[in-house]
Amino acid sequence: MSVFNPASFQTPPSRARLVRRVFYVPGYAPEGAARHRDLFAREAARFASLWKVDVQVSALQPGTGGVAACEWRARTRMSSAEVETVVETLAWDDLVAADFREPLVAKLAKGFAALLDSLVSGTLFRVARAAPWFAFGYLYPYLWLLGCVAAGAAAGVAASWLAPAGFGFALGLAAGAAVAYGALKALHASSTLYAIHLLDDWIAQRRYRRRADPALDDRLDGFAERIVRAAAERTDDEIVVVGHSSGSFLAIDVMARAFEADPELGRRGPAITLLTVGTAELLVAFHPGAGWFRQRLARLARERSLYWAEVAGYFDVLNFARRSPAEELGLAGGDERPNPRFRRVKINALLNRPTVLRLATRLKVFRLHFQFVMANERKAGYDFFSLMCGARTAAEQFSRPPGEPMDPFPAAAPARFAPTMTVL
């Protein structure tokens, strides 16, 4: 894999050419587009090595779509086809960074309000029925907070026992408060435990579910408008909207808004695909007060001009892998609900055994969570980079016979994309 200059890219007339535009909606993290581009470039090199194709990734460029975003381009070349992929990040990292800057006291108050809401509403119990491991993941930051309080209590008791007569209560209270505060500050500063990160995430999800985040709401409207404009330009063969982690419910929301703005979306112009991976949409949809979101999800579930695929795996504790969100919510099946096409994958099918053992023994939970948007080490029925950089559309990739791996190559039949020559 190498870095290329898009301005110098020409497609030989003898090769079929597919142009794909990807709108990537990342999860809840303060890192910006540069991190996502670097991850994409690194993993594209692994993908190229696995499939023996040439992948070139451009430097990060300012977005051209009118949304506060950045983009990069990738060219994938094989003997019979060339694929141009333009990736636009639908950025909301600035909003996440603002959450991260909030004082710890405010986070704790809002975090416990989110926990109380999830308990009183029954949301956490619904999550536990659908994905027990995710319920534990939801409680993970609260268990750390409880541990900080327990450490303070233990220190207070010890100090009161050791204090001179008459000073036990005061010294115990002071020691306990100091230890608890210090533990909370250390937890807040930790870059490896992710406890406060997840606490911020649950707070933001509650705010989103209550429709109490006007800045994010405006951003989502802008994202939807950008997708509609891109489809209207008809310069792409396929548009793929990818939602990862907390980006899954935002991507669902954005696509529903896009179809509200243009009901003809996908009926003309490029094929429209929604890909949700490492999903968290049921954290929102299970809440009794999220009827508006369930309506939007149901709208996409019935939309025939949209190809929506959801990929999940039991190896990821931060997703729902039992069945599709439409089934979990009891939406009608059959011809009335073509979406989403649900695929469950196993980590052993994607990665080599030594890698799996290393990640498991080191408890690399977030690394496993990101595998959905990373390259495989093995040829498998789910291959993120074949979807991003391959010569077949997502619908064609997911329609392969059971057991057949996704790959970047065009179908044996003549490609439906006419050979062209273009200069980027």
Q: Cα–Cα distance between 264 and 179 in angstroms, integer? A: 60
pTM of the model: 0.91
Question: In the structure encoding, which two tokens stand for residue 259, read together?
Answer: 């179809």
Q: Cα–Cα distance between 258 and 409 in angstroms, integer? A: 31
C-alpha to C-alpha distances, 302 to 263, 326, 334, 341, nearest whole angstrom: 13, 10, 10, 12
Average pLDDT in the chain: 91
Q: Is pLDDT above 90 for 136?
A: yes
Q: Is pLDDT above 80 for 1?
A: no
Question: In the structure encoding, which two tokens stand for residue 205, read together?
Answer: 């999800």
Please give the helix or strand (H or E) that residue 16 lies within, else none: strand 16-25
Query: Across residues 401-421, what is the average pLDDT?
Result: 67
Contact 250, 287 (CB under 8 A): no
Per-domain boundaries in the chain: 6-95+213-398, 102-204
Which residues touch 212 (CB under 8 Å, ≥6 apart)? none
Question: How does pLDDT run across 347-398, given as a tens digit for each residue?
Answer: 999 999 999 999 999 999 999 999 999 999 999 999 999 999 999 999 999 9
At position 12, the amino acid (one-letter code) is P
In the CATH scheme, what architecture does the domain 6-95+213-398 have? 3-Layer(aba) Sandwich (3.40)
At residue 421, the pLDDT reads 27
Which pLDDT band, with edges at 50, 70 and 90, does 64 fall under?
low
Q: Cα–Cα distance between 325 and 396 in angstroms, integer? A: 22
Q: Is pLDDT above 50 for 415?
A: no
